[in-house]
Structure 1
Amino acid sequence: MEYIKSGNTIAVRIDYDEEVMEKLTELCKKENITSAAVSGIGATKLAELGLYNIETKEYKVTSYTGLYEVGSFMGNITQKDGEPYLHMHITIGDPEKNEVHSGHLNKAVIGATSEIFVTVFDKKIGRQLDEKTGINIFEFEK
């Protein structure tokens, strides 16, 4: 991973065989990022996508192995219990198989490169458990 900063934006390149969530967490700790918006593109050779079932309050995780183009990578960075909390979604596609998959990103190992922009906010956003849905939702400073 390499990156440069310009104003409140960080341009990040995550390289072949690196795992996206690990590298973004590393970036957050190194640059003390407490809240940000994230968007990017690239290619992955292994992706684990989740879908949350609100009735059972469980995630179903599906793994995809092989070279997939990343059509969309977006999400946010907040804090939970003093640690970076990454909430990312991804859409991956394989034009040869005519298939597209999308969901909550648990893991993505880069299959070529990934180009990501992180727009850092000047206010801290936390997370709190929502009893109704069972998910961690935004918690704004008062």
Structure 2
Amino acid sequence: MMNYQKIQDTYVVRLDRGEEIMTKLTELAEEEGIRLATVYGLGAVTDVEMGFYDVTKKQYYANTFSEDYEVLHLNGNVTTKDGAPYLHVHLTIADSAGRTFGGHLNKATIAVTGEIFVRVLEGTVARKMDETIGINLMEFVE
């Protein structure tokens, strides 16, 4: 079960074996009313799906990884889209031979533990679809 504690402007989050990162971070943002934040962390994962965006085709391509991997770096942000939390997270992982893989995180299940920090920022940054590029770009709200 996800455990977290707020220390000053940062939520220190521990995810346990079997929890899915994007689902739990979205739950945290919804429960705590987080509208703008940076996200970073490490841990160990399995059942990973990461995407690579092809701007010419305006399409994400997913790569899946089903073994256990060390999280070398998880980083991203929380903004909003249509008033709801919107997570944009990237992940770099390494296998038992030290080979690394990375991309736009779609999902990853904790294999051992996840140690994630969510630093809340004041203000709001929304997302809006940019038809030219084909993704939800940040839109600054006054």
Within 5 A, what are the aligned runs for 1:73-112?
Answer: 73-96=74-97, 98-112=98-112
The whole-number CA distance in structure 2 between the counterparts of 1:45 and 1:132 is 34
CA positional deviation for 1:54? 0.1
SS of structure 2 residue aligned to 1:66: coil
TM value normalised by structure 2? 0.97
CA positional deviation for 1:131? 2.2
Unmatched segments (≥5 aa) in structure 2: none
Q: How many residue pairs end up in the alignment?
A: 141
Aligned to 2:117: 117
- The question of 1:14 aligning with 2:15 is answered yes
- The question of 1:138 aligning with 2:125 is answered no
- Aligned-pair identity in percent equals 46
Q: What is the alpha-carbon root mean square deviation over aligned residues?
A: 0.8
The whole-number CA distance in structure 1 between the counterparts of 2:84 and 2:108 is 20
CA positional deviation for 1:129? 1.2
Aligned to 1:35: 36
**Would you identify which runs of 4 or more consecutive aligned residues in structure 1 move more than 2 Å?**
none
TM value normalised by structure 1? 0.97
The whole-number CA distance in structure 2 between the counterparts of 1:3 and 1:124 is 23
CA positional deviation for 1:46? 1.2
Aligned to 1:49: 50
CA positional deviation for 1:95? 3.3
Aligned to 2:68: 67
Unmatched segments (≥5 aa) in structure 1: none
The whole-number CA distance in structure 1 between the counterparts of 2:81 and 2:132 is 19
